[in-house]
A and B are shown apart, each in its own frame.
Chain A
Amino acid sequence: MSAVDRVFAPPSEPWRRVSPRLTSARRLVLVVTLTLVTVLVVAALTLPSLGGDEALIPTWIPAAVAAVGLVVGAWGWWLVGRRVRSYGYCERADDLLVTSGIMFRRLVIVPYGRMQLVDVTAGPLDRAFGITTVQLHTAAATSDAAIPGLPPDEAAALRDRLAAIGEQRSAGL
């Protein structure tokens, strides 16, 4: 195990990873947004040249834009996969660990006694893909311990476990 992995490794058992369906959902969003933007920009660049004999804007410019869109899309496709694989969480005896990020790695440790509420959210797209986000809130606005892409059953079970433990150990402020 490399030194880097050691620093962000879970203490005993391996990280529980999130559903790969999160990758599909995020890739869909990526592709749709990027396609829309690219098509609009390309259209804006080609339409003025259509009527006349002489191209107002050289045709290589919209072509370059489309190419850039394609490259960014491919890069984003790959990045989304890596990012989603980097999410992980681990329930320990006294706290919950959440990790994420590849370039900028992050590990959040939330003691159960500090949890104030647990949010489970799923937007329309999330529901279509069968995933939910579990978010923990503490009295600190910066805690930001969100676990996206959990299957609904797992999310509900996690929420119930957290709520039960939080109830026992609530420390107030």
Chain B
Amino acid sequence: MTETPALPVSATGPQRTHPTTVLVHVFRSVPVIVGVGVVVIAQSGGAVLSGLPVGRAVLFGALLLIAVAALVGIGGYLSWSRRFYHFDEAGDLRVDSGVITRTQRRLALSRLQSVDVTQPLLARLVGMAEIRVEVAGTGDSRVVLQYLTLTEAQRLRDEVLARAAGLRPDVGTAPQNVLVSVPTGDLGLSLLLSSTTLVGVLATAAIVALAVLTEGAVGLLGLLVTGGVPIFSAFGQFVRFFGFTVAESPDGLRLRSGLTSTQAQTVPPGRVHAIEYEQPLLWRYKDWVRVQLTVAGAASEENQQGAGTTGVLLPVAPREVAEAVVDRVLPGLAVADLEWTPAPARARLRAPIQWRLLATAADGRVFAARRGRLVRRLALVPHARTQSVHLTQGPWQRRLGLASVRLDIAPGPIDVRALHQDADAARSQADAQALRAKAARSSAGPDRWMSRPRTDAGLDGVS
């Protein structure tokens, strides 16, 4: 690692987030308070309110709501007034927080994995944004600052990226070059054709058929589930992936999307640990694919929530477009030239549906594994990202002389499994992969990516 010259410390010293934060937190808690109130009233069978005139009851409820909201506000104010962020002498981001127990967190920006600026709906209405900075590390290695004005959040993101890259902190926003925008029509259609929707439609049809045949209406209640879940899931994805754009800049990849709340994720060069193409059954005739990515630190528990990174590089795109984008993310993979080793024909006794699709390949740069029948998956992992290798064999596999290989990579949406390969081949594959992983580490780029020679600038060359 090269020695980084001392970078100027923040001119302003420790800073607080924007005061509006407190208000946003209070407003965000209102539905929760009301919800709890309704549940309490319902639980008591309305006994809490009995004997009160309606006007009184409403007034009482409103006062209670205001009181609880005020408490939330006081708590929010205390926590807000004791939360500071600044850049220290070493150029790392420091966040001090905590009302009673003080916590100091220091993020080593040389290990930056991604920076997200997101605007949850409520914050967006008042022009606020939150920024989350992820560095590599096991456990809790991120910092979320809520809320800053959108301009301040973007400025902070630029500063984090500049410092992480080894540039002066005040270089401003790096120029970007849009690679793909996902058309709204394609997104909508792709979600209608997705597997969840398909399963929902089939299940709905089955229930209707059953209800008609048995003349029982009870089964129709199931429609709420079979019809509701796919609609809910598809709608959620539509809102989240609306207006999805992938752009590249010297800072790395920029992913932006969102209809109600918006997110903008920046992944610096060389932080991508794995890529996976995913193709549900009905996308096949359009030859559309979804591309997922794993970035160290952006762990999956966050994906369940509304904001934050989703592990999706492209929600839907024609295959050639997706491949072009992946080529920018992991340059020079030559996936088309990989020599695939399919699973032996006896694997159909273990995996009757997907055995034809099972295959694995590896070249000097990347390990690849293909699986799935209804949803086809193709995962790619650069050797430098392989953390460890698992070889497993169940009793039935042993009878058939099969074994599976799994690569352990940073936590994320991608599972890399070469299933049901010939047992001896799988063992040699596992051994060979451990050696490849070891050999690949030396060629990894520097952490401060702008400090590498200009000729080897990777993403720089194309912007």
Contacts and interface: CB of A to CB of B under 8 A. Distances in A.
B394 A104 contact: yes
A48 interface: no
A91 interface: no
Given A105-B393, A138-B388, A173 B296 contact: yes
B447 interface: yes
A105 B426 CA distance: 13
Interface string B315-341: 000000000000000000000000000
Helix, strand, loop or mixed for chain B's interface?
Answer: mixed
Given A108-B390, A110-B388, A114-B388, A138 B434 contact: no
A113 B409 contact: no
A140 B423 contact: no
A88 to B, nearest CB: 14
Interface string B383-426: 01011111111110010010100101111000000000001101
Interface in B426-463: 426-427, 430-431, 433-435, 437-438, 441-442, 444, 447
A116 B111 CA distance: 14
Contacts of B427: 6-8, 107
B43 to A, nearest CB: 33
A7 B392 contact: no
A111 B437 contact: yes
B388 A171 contact: no
B447 to A, nearest CB: 7
B136 interface: yes
A113 B438 contact: yes
A142 B408 contact: yes
B138 interface: yes
Contacts of A3: 401, 423-424
A4 to B, nearest CB: 6
Contacts, number: 113
Nearest to B300: A141
Nearest to B424: A7
A60 B437 CA distance: 61
Contacts of B423: 3-4, 7
Contacts of A112: 438
A116 B424 CA distance: 30
Given A109-B430, A145-B388, A140 B424 contact: no
A143 B409 CA distance: 8
Contacts of A114: 386-388, 437
Interface magnitude class on chain A: 20 to 34
Contacts of B394: 103-104
B393 A8 contact: yes
Identify the interface centre among B392, B395, B444: most chain A CB within 10 Å of its CB: B392
Interface string B273-311: 000000000000000000000001000000000000000
A143 B387 contact: yes
Given A111-B438, A114-B437, A139-B410, A6 B424 contact: yes
B111 A173 contact: yes
Interface residues of B, number: 39
Contacts of B433: 109
A110 B113 CA distance: 23
Nearest to A173: B136
A107 to B, nearest CB: 4
A173 B410 contact: yes
Given A109-B431, A139-B410, A140-B411, A103 B395 contact: yes
B435 A138 contact: no
Identify the interface centre among B113, B408, B410, B433: most chain A CB within 10 Å of its CB: B408
Given A111-B434, A173-B111, A137 B138 contact: yes
Contacts of B113: 173
B411 A104 contact: no
Contact of B391 (A107, A137, A138, A172): A107
| Those 3 A-B pairs whose CB atoms lie nearest each other, nearest first | A171-B441, A140-B408, A140-B387
Interface of B: 111, 113, 136, 138, 296, 384, 386-395, 398, 401, 403, 406, 408-411, 423-424, 426-427, 430-431, 433-435, 437-438, 441-442, 444, 447
Given A11-B431, A109-B434, 7 more contacts: A7-B424, A105-B392, A111-B386, A114-B386, A138-B388, A169-B441, A171-B441
25 contacts: A3-B424, A7-B391, A7-B393, A8-B427, A94-B438, A103-B395, A105-B393, A107-B390, A108-B390, A109-B390, A109-B430, A109-B434, A110-B387, A111-B388, A112-B438, A114-B386, A116-B138, A137-B138, A138-B408, A139-B387, A142-B390, A142-B406, A143-B387, A169-B441, A172-B111
